[in-house]
Amino acid sequence: MAEEGLDPKAATVKSMSEIGSALVGIAAVLSAVMVPMAFFGGSVGVIYRQFSITIVSAMALSVLVALVLSPALCATILKPGAHDPLHRRGLFGAFNRWFDRSTNRYVHLTRGVIGHRGLHLVVYAVILVVMGALFIRLPTGFLPTEDQGQLMIQFTLPAGATKERTEKVRGEIDAYFQKNESKDVPTMFAVTGTGFGGSGQNSGQAFASLSSFDDRKEASQAVSAIAARANATLSKLRDAEVFIMTPPSIHGLGQSNVFTFELLNSSGMPRDQFVALRDKLIDAASTDPKLARVRASTLPDTPQLRVTYDDAKLSVLGLTDADAASVLSSAWGGTYVNDFVDRGRIKKVYMQADATDRALPQDPNKWFVRSSATSADGVTKMVPFSSFASMSWEMGPNSVSRFNGRSSYEINGEPASGFSSGEAMAEMVALQEEVAPGTSYAWSGLSYQENETNGQTGYLYGLSVIVVFLCLAALYESWSVPFAVMLVIPLGVIGAVLAVTLRGLENNILLQVGLLTTIGLASKNAILIVEFAEASRRQGKDLLESALEAARVRLRPILMTSIAFIAGVLPLAVATGAGAQGRIAIGTAVLGGMFTGTALAIFYVPMFFVVVGKLFHRKAPATTAQPQPALN
């Protein structure tokens, strides 16, 4: 309207004829990038699917509005204005004049880039190498550790410790939080007799609820900082091992936000040898600079009362092992008998020895077992338990665990400061192979999901790029034009990887979502230029003229949409509070990717269009007459 003096309706019709196919192409590319995510399985697939469905649905609605509603609003609401925007007064006129001069300089620079395309293709190759090197060096992870406002505390005393000692440790932990962290940890609940590794009077656990995020705005009040201080202080307790943990990023996948390493007895070695290798592995991990707070999740061996039957005496006395075991289990553990009705309610009947007769280790000597043998007068004999059984104390496992059908021990730990969970997992595997021969390993909980995700990342990126290429090929009915668009992808990815590297973030699921979004948005900028340049070429212009004209015309919409998007994701990159780490991961990747994907793409996409055009020997079609086939 302002540049050509068209009325609103005519301007709308002309605008839609120029950008309609570009809008469809952008929507197709952004949707194609996200669609493969929806078909991944497992818990990772659930996370991917949420982003995929949300972004694809929003993109479909957006392009529908852009193609149907926006043109109608433009034709209805817009009013004719000054024909020459450069002669307008005020701020907008000054801005238009400055932008027009900047556009001319930009076109001149773009012409220089195309003219020296050999040099800039070398620069592009360097960008590819740097991008790959930085991406490979990114520490890996599953999900960022979020501040959920909760802490979990596990404390374990030496084997055989009494309940009184355990209660004393519980009191010391409670006193620490009341004295040092009462402002940020107003509530804590603790129990003894049970823990994350099993039940026993020498173990306990506690749960602490932190104050609201509005009251914890300082970095020192974050859950990670509070946990670090508590671990540093409570680790000095001489009577117990205390570990402060945060809940898992996804509830139900593991007990806490630590790696879960399953050491498997794959060679069938004796238990004592297997335990020795487990302890050797834990000792090696405890001194490794990449690992912190590595420990076995199970309780240590505890004193156990061993009851031994003399089979010869059992046979002479007319008893069997089952007879003795039945009395032992009934007297100590109780046996269900039947039900009875009491005042309209069904109650269960259990048979068990009185508490006074099952409180001490020597109490079984008071028990009798009914023998199958009878006396001379036909009376069934009652045999004292002590006549065929002996009891002794020994050390034994609190529980026996199996994983994938093999005896196993679960080992938990955390990455040391400055290292990622992926690096910690790789280090545990290396240590297991070095110090624990005859064993194998597996991952469980969040660690299993992270290990599975690392193997799927390459397939995800590759599949997304292939789908985008096929969509572009179908849109432009060409195998060559999509290359000019696809070549822009590394220009966006390099910015995302640089931004993530500078902020010290991990290559996790949310970063991968941000990278895929960056791929789609970088392709969007390329489509705006390539689509217009291809239309100009079809009208008879040469490659260079088409590329420069497209760069000039599309500069303003590219900058406008990119700046708007950068402003939109900026709050994500600097987020605080609940769920901040996830928003930071996505926002940082998209922010960095959009910055370089815009700043570099506006110069390199016209060059890519010319290079691809010359590579595939595409010539402008004749405008006056159809070419005739040559006759030999």
- Per-residue pLDDT reduced to its tens digit, 567-600: 999 999 988 877 888 899 999 999 999 999 999 9
Q: What is the pLDDT of residue 85?
A: 55
With bands split at pLDDT 50, 70 and 90, how would you rate the model's confidence at 499? very high
How many angstroms separate the CA atoms of 132 and 515, rounded?
A: 13
Q: What is the pLDDT of residue 8?
A: 79
How many angstroms separate the CA atoms of 150 and 212, rounded?
A: 11
Q: What angle do CA 503, 507, 513 make, to 5 degrees?
A: 105
How many angstroms separate the CA atoms of 554 and 298, rounded?
A: 64
Most confident listed range (54-68, 91-105, 107-121, 286-300)? 107-121
What is the tens place of the pLDDT at every residue in 12-50?
Answer: 888 888 777 778 878 888 887 888 877 777 777 888 888
pLDDT exceeds 90 at position 257:
no
Token duo for residue 503: 């902020």
What is the tens place of the pLDDT at every residue in 427-486?
Answer: 999 999 999 998 999 998 888 888 877 767 777 778 888 888 888 888 777 777 888 888
- Three-class SS of residue 303? strand
How many angstroms separate the CA atoms of 488 and 492, rounded?
A: 7
For the chain, the farthest-separated pair of C-alpha atoms sits apart, in whole angstroms, at: 129
- 355: Cβ contacts below 8 Å, ≥ 6 apart: none
- Three-class SS of residue 525? helix
Q: Which of 545, 522, 523 is nearest to 533 (CA)?
A: 545
Compute the average pLDDT of residues 314-322: 86
DSSP code of residue 629: P
* Helices vs. strands in the chain: H and E counts, helices first: 18, 15
How many angstroms separate the CA atoms of 311 and 194, rounded?
A: 36
Q: What is the average pLDDT score of the chain?
A: 85
Give the position of tokens 């529908």: 64
Name 411's bridge partners.
261, 296
Burial 540-554 (b: 16+ CB within 10 A, else e): ebebbebbbbbbbbb
Q: What is the pLDDT of residue 397?
A: 81
pLDDT exceeds 50 at position 625:
no
User: How far does the chain reach from its first CA to its final CA, in angstroms?
Assistant: 53
With bands split at pLDDT 50, 70 and 90, how would you rate the model's confidence at 254? low
- CA quadruple 55, 470, 516, 415: dihedral sign: positive
Contact call for residues 141 and 422 (beta carbons, < 8 A): yes
Compute the average pLDDT of residues 155-170: 87
What are the angstrom distances between the C-alpha of 509 and each of 46, 505, 512, 593? 11, 12, 5, 17
With bands split at pLDDT 50, 70 and 90, how would you rate the model's confidence at 631? very low
What is the tens place of the pLDDT at every residue in 280-306?
Answer: 999 999 999 999 888 888 877 888 888
Contact call for residues 488 and 83 (beta carbons, < 8 A): no
Residue 313 main-chain phi, psi, to 5 deg: -65, -35
Q: What is the pLDDT of residue 621?
A: 52
Round the CA-based radius of gyration of the chain to a whole number and report it.
36
DSSP code of residue 140: B
Q: What is the pLDDT of residue 248?
A: 81
How many angstroms separate the CA atoms of 35 and 52, rounded?
A: 6
Q: What is the pLDDT of residue 587?
A: 92
- 518: Cβ contacts below 8 Å, ≥ 6 apart: 492, 493, 495, 496, 589, 590, 593, 594, 597
What are the angstrom distances between the C-alpha of 388 and each of 207, 328, 381? 48, 13, 14
Q: Which of 393, 397, 429, 394 is nearest to 411 (CA)?
A: 429
Q: Which of 135, 65, 25 is nearest to 471 (CA)?
A: 25
How many angstroms separate the CA atoms of 251 and 257, rounded?
A: 10
What are the angstrom distances between the C-alpha of 198 and each of 238, 257, 301, 426? 22, 18, 12, 27
Token duo for residue 164: 């009184």
How many angstroms separate the CA atoms of 452 and 42, rounded?
A: 9
H-only helix segments in 153-222 = 163-180
Q: What is the pLDDT of residue 624?
A: 46
pLDDT exceeds 50 at position 518:
yes
Q: What is the pLDDT of residue 626?
A: 46
How many angstroms separate the CA atoms of 456 and 467, rounded?
A: 16
- 104: Cβ contacts below 8 Å, ≥ 6 apart: none
82 or 394: which carries more pLDDT confidence?
394
Compute the average pLDDT of residues 515-532: 86
Q: What is the pLDDT of residue 628?
A: 44
Lowest mean pLDDT among 242-246, 251-255, 447-451, 617-621: 617-621
How many angstroms separate the CA atoms of 360 and 375, rounded?
A: 32
The predicted model scores a pTM of 0.76
pLDDT exceeds 80 at position 80:
no
Where do the domains of the chain lie, and which CATH numbers do they carry?
Answer: 84-143+460-615 (1.20.1640.10), 150-302+399-449 (3.30.70.1430), 326-394 (3.30.2090.10)
Please give the distance of CA 275 from its chain centroid, rounded to a whole number: 32
Name 244's bridge partners.
153
- Three-class SS of residue 278? helix
- The secondary structure element, H or E, covering residue 276 is helix 271-286
Q: What is the pLDDT of residue 577?
A: 78
With bands split at pLDDT 50, 70 and 90, how would you rate the model's confidence at 214? confident
Which runs of E-coded beta strand occur in 404-563? 406-415, 440-443
- 259: Cβ contacts below 8 Å, ≥ 6 apart: 412, 413, 414, 415, 421, 424, 425, 428, 443, 446, 447
What is the tens place of the pLDDT at every residue in 535-556?
Answer: 888 888 888 888 899 899 888 8
pLDDT exceeds 70 at position 326:
yes
Compute the average pLDDT of residues 323-345: 89
Question: Burial level of 203, CB count in 10 A (0-12/13-18/19+)?
Answer: buried
Q: DSSP letter string over 89-100?
A: -HHHHHHHHHHH
Helix axes 70-77, 8-34, angle to 10 degrees: 160
